[in-house]
Amino acid sequence: MVRFFVGPQSISDGAIQLSPDDAEHIRSLRLRPSELFIVCDGAGSDYICRLGEHGNGLAEITGSRPSQGEPNVDCRVYVAHAKGERLTYAVQKSVELGARKIVLFPSERCISVPGDLGKKTARLKRVALEAAKQCGMGLVPEITAERSFIAAIESAACADLPLFLYECEDKLHLKQAMAQYIEPKTISMVIGPEGGFEPFEADLAKSAGLVTVTLGSRVLRCETVPVVVLSSVMFHTGNL
């Protein structure tokens, strides 16, 4: 079914007021009054709806249920600023695979660092919203940005299992790290830019309490790493 998101303030008296854009989208789909669609409150509840009689963007609620697309582990993806569409791809696929939060941050080898973080995060929030609609999530992942590498790793270190994906790590594999931590509730994963991390950044991450891990002998593109890590984590935790 088609899926939309609204704020809790739009739900009252057995009906939901859709935004003008969503109402226009429904008109373009030419849904009949008998056809059902889903409106999510962004807090984990799905409402089964049909079009109101007056065609004014009012959706009548016919039932509700908990959102079924949310994993039981809170994954937070920290992605260094990347060039072009690589960051867009990383955000889109991270949302599809169940990330709850995506944090942008600068790193020493970043090729592209935006001057206007507000504009960039606003665009990526739209990407996250569309991806959440497509994949059936009950929450729209938060998109934020840290101003420094230090701030990013200090934030990431607060997770039960804080992972630092480092291309020069040659001992601890992601699979081994996951096996050492029994049912972590929160997992953070720090992913570097196109050129990878500088050695001193890895040292800082270790000092902050992050666990440096490898994904194997192949060197992956920066936009591929979140897909591989999230897929592995979701499989290991029974969410895939």
Average pLDDT along the chain: 91
> Residue 95 is encoded by which pair of tokens?
């949302």
Residue 152's Cβ-count burial label (10 Å; 0-12, 13-18, 19+) is buried
- Asked whether residue 222 falls in the same domain as residue 147, the answer is yes
- Pair 190, 156: CB distance under 8 Å: yes
- Pair 179, 220: CB distance under 8 Å: no
- Asked whether residue 102 falls in the same domain as residue 200, the answer is yes
| pLDDT > 90? residue 113 | no
- Asked whether residue 130 falls in the same domain as residue 217, the answer is yes
Residues whose CB is less than 8 angstroms from the CB of residue 7 and which lie 6 or more positions away in sequence, other chains included: 41, 42
- Asked whether residue 49 falls in the same domain as residue 151, the answer is no
Average pLDDT over residues 90-111: 95
What's the pLDDT at 55?
A: 61
- Asked whether residue 137 falls in the same domain as residue 225, the answer is yes
Strand partners, 211: 163
User: Domain of 22?
Assistant: 3-66
- Asked whether residue 9 falls in the same domain as residue 106, the answer is no
Q: Give the end of a domain, one of 45, 66, 87.
A: 66
CATH number, domain with residue 202:
3.40.1280.10
> Residue 120 is encoded by which pair of tokens?
């960039």
Average pLDDT over residues 105-110: 94
Q: Give the end of a domain, one of 22, 49, 66.
A: 66
- Asked whether residue 81 falls in the same domain as residue 12, the answer is no
Average pLDDT over residues 60-87: 91
- Asked whether residue 215 falls in the same domain as residue 152, the answer is yes
Confidence of residue 30 (pLDDT cuts 50, 70, 90): confident
- Asked whether residue 82 falls in the same domain as residue 59, the answer is no
Pick the closest to residue 236 from 178, 190, 189 (CA basis).
Answer: 178
- Asked whether residue 105 falls in the same domain as residue 145, the answer is yes
Confidence of residue 51 (pLDDT cuts 50, 70, 90): confident
| pLDDT > 90? residue 143 | yes
Confidence of residue 163 (pLDDT cuts 50, 70, 90): very high
What's the pLDDT at 210?
A: 98
| SS3 category, 232 | helix
pTM check: above 0.95? no
What's the pLDDT at 52?
A: 73
In the chain, the number of structural domains is 2
Confidence of residue 54 (pLDDT cuts 50, 70, 90): low
Query: Cα 17 from chain centroid?
Result: 26
What's the pLDDT at 48?
A: 94
CATH number, domain with residue 56:
2.40.240.20
- Asked whether residue 47 falls in the same domain as residue 129, the answer is no
- The H-assigned helical ranges of the chain are 20-29, 86-96, 117-135, 149-156, 174-180, 199-207, 225-236
Q: Give the end of a domain, one of 12, 41, 66.
A: 66
Average pLDDT over residues 191-196: 92
Confidence of residue 67 (pLDDT cuts 50, 70, 90): confident
Tell me the C-alpha distance between 192 and 199, whole Å. 12
Position with higher pLDDT, 8 vs 102: 102
- Asked whether residue 47 falls in the same domain as residue 100, the answer is no
